[in-house]
Amino acid sequence: MQSQTASLISAELRRRFDTSSRVLVLTGAGVSAESGVPTFRGGGNTAVWKGMPFDVISSAGMIERDLPAVWEWFDYRRNLLQAVEPNAAHIAIARWQDRFPDFTLVTQNIDGLHQKAGSRDVVELHGNIWRARCVACSMTIGLNEHRACLGCGAHLRPDVVLFGELLPPGAYERAADAASDVELCFVVGTSALVYPAANLPALAKRAGACVVEVNPERTPLSDFCDEVLTGNAGDILPLF
């Protein structure tokens, strides 16, 4: 155990972890991979659904064009999530919220596994698959059999952010504010290709933070990070 910690976590990073009070964690699909949730871009190929790349079926135009197909896509992913549990990475991050006086968890994931692991006040940049939203009055509700808004009767859609759609009101602003004032920023399990989420590590770096990437593969962020911990989040995060 001592050798593994020694090798992966530098003395400087250990010191930063032990002395920082303002910390931000940004996660992507990779943090849920060890729970059995497929990532979008793993092993070089992109997730495809019924012949459509995920960023096509998950794009704004689909709501007008074919809302039933959008429901089918997210129903399929929700069924995949029924049986999965948070993994050691989710659990480690949940512990950190009580360790650091000023802790912000920002996720691109819509799976709700951070909350299931006990994380509170999670900034969900891209929505949540367990909620629906009215296409007319934007009322959001926990998912149930209804596909019509109980308020105005209009159609419900998954409460997730599709490509070409704006993020939830205030979500990015809250994340950017936090990122602009942290000492330590962990970037866990993301290919850092989707914006504006991928801007956040740059904001933290500009604020003088130590930026740490946790990923088994290199990403466009790797050269820019102060520390790159190569491996699975479920193996690495519990070492802290």
Nearer to ligand BV8, 60 or 148 (CB): 60
Nearer to ligand BV8, 22 or 92 (CB): 92
Q: Catalytic residue among 90, 126, 146, 155, which?
A: 126
Nearer to ligand BV8, 153 or 238 (CB): 238
Nearer to ligand BV8, 42 or 118 (CB): 42
Binding mask 157-196 for ligand BV8 (x = CB under 6 A): ---xxxxxxx----------------------xxx-xxxx
Query: Nearest distance from residue 19's CB to ligand BV8, in Å?
Result: 25
Q: Which of 55, 72, 226, 227 binds ligand BV8 (CB under 6 A)?
A: 55
By CB under 6 A, residue 202 contacts ligand BV8: no
HEC string of the chain equals CHHHHHHHCCHHHHHHHHHCCEEEEEECCHHHHCCCCCCCEECCEECEECCEEHHHHCECHHHHHHHHHHHHHHHHHHHHHHCCCCCHHHHHHHHHHHHCCEEEEEECCCCCHHHHCCCCCCEECCEEEEEEEECCCCCEEECCCCCECCCCCCEEEEEECCECCCCCCCHHHHHHHHHCCCCEEEEECCCCCCCCHHHHHHHHHHCCCEEEEECCCCCCCHHHCCEEECCCHHHHHHHC
The verdict on whether 126 is a catalytic residue reads: yes
Stretch of 14-22, 30-38, 134-142, 176-184 lying at the interface with ligand BV8 (CB under 6 A): 30-38
Which residues does the annotation mark as catalytic?
126
Which residues are at the interface with ligand BV8 (CB under 6 A)?
A: 28-30, 33-34, 39-42, 54-55, 58, 108, 110, 126, 160-166, 189-191, 193-197, 214-217, 219, 232-234
